[in-house]
Amino acid sequence: MKGKDNIRFAGGSHEQVELTESLNGIQTEAGRSLLELVDASSVLLIFLRHFRCAYCAMALDRVSRVRLQIEGMGVRPVFVHLGSPERAKPYFDYYHLADVERISDPEATLYQLPVFGLGRKNYLWHSLNPAVLAGWFKGALFRYGIGVPTEDGDQMPGVFLIRNRKIAKAFRHRTIADEPDYLRLAGAR
């Protein structure tokens, strides 16, 4: 499923307070405060699944391809992943995203915050979803490969544009095969 129909727009002031409280104290792997990054520019916060997921690799690849356009709109991509910094490094290096801010969240603390509302689905059953199977056969499996998860395979991904300490746009995956339009989420379309 293409992701453009799954984009939702900002909530009210209660959500802003909850988001600010949630981001307070979160540090990137480079030691920067996530709240500091949000205050400096808009942030496209991209939550990934496990690193052996074809769709996780596809997300890294697609963001890498449009990164300059996203940054040209004054939006900073920031990734949240379930692995350790050491586990994540080769994946970000491979997709030319080594210098992008990222947050290691092996306990899925950020993923589980109500303000983001990211769900969990049993990865074995979810793998049998027709949309997931169709995505694999359209090329995700052959281009990006697949493996047994070493991180939490049940955790669903999502993408959030955070502007002025508010979630301006949100994309919560219904299936792992959903394809977010990163440029639209960043504000281009």
* 3 state DSSP class of 47: strand
Average pLDDT over the chain reads 82
pLDDT at 5 over 70: no
Give the model's pLDDT for residue 25.
Answer: 87
Give the model's pLDDT for residue 19.
Answer: 84
Helix-then-strand count for the chain, H and E: 8, 6
Give the model's pLDDT for residue 28.
Answer: 97
pTM: 0.81
pLDDT at 171 over 70: yes
What's the number of domains the chain is made of?
1
Predicted confidence (pLDDT) per residue in 70-123, tens digit: 999 999 999 999 999 999 999 999 999 999 999 999 999 999 998 898 876 555
Give the model's pLDDT for residue 1.
Answer: 42
Average pLDDT over residues 121-132: 59
Give the model's pLDDT for residue 53.
Answer: 75
Neighbours of 58 (CB within 10 A): 18
Predicted confidence (pLDDT) per residue in 13-69, tens digit: 445 567 888 888 899 999 999 999 999 999 999 999 888 777 788 899 999 999 999
Residue 183, token pair as written in the block:
């440029």
**Angle, vertex CA 89, rays to CA 60 and CA 161, nearest 5:** 40
Domain span at residue 45 reads 3-186
CATH of the domain at 166: 3.40.30.10
pLDDT at 178 over 70: yes
Position 2 confidence tier, pLDDT thresholds 50, 70, 90: very low
* 3 state DSSP class of 120: strand
Contact 187, 44 (CB under 8 A): no
Contact 54, 146 (CB under 8 A): yes
- Strands (E) across the chain are located at 7-9, 42-47, 75-81, 101-104, 158-163, 166-172
Q: 138 CB contacts (<8 Å, ≥6 apart)?
A: none
Predicted confidence (pLDDT) per residue in 137-154, tens digit: 565 555 655 655 566 667
- Rounded distance, CA 158 to CA 73, Å? 20
Give the model's pLDDT for residue 34.
Answer: 95
> Which residue, 71, 65, 75, 79, is CA-closest to 162?
75
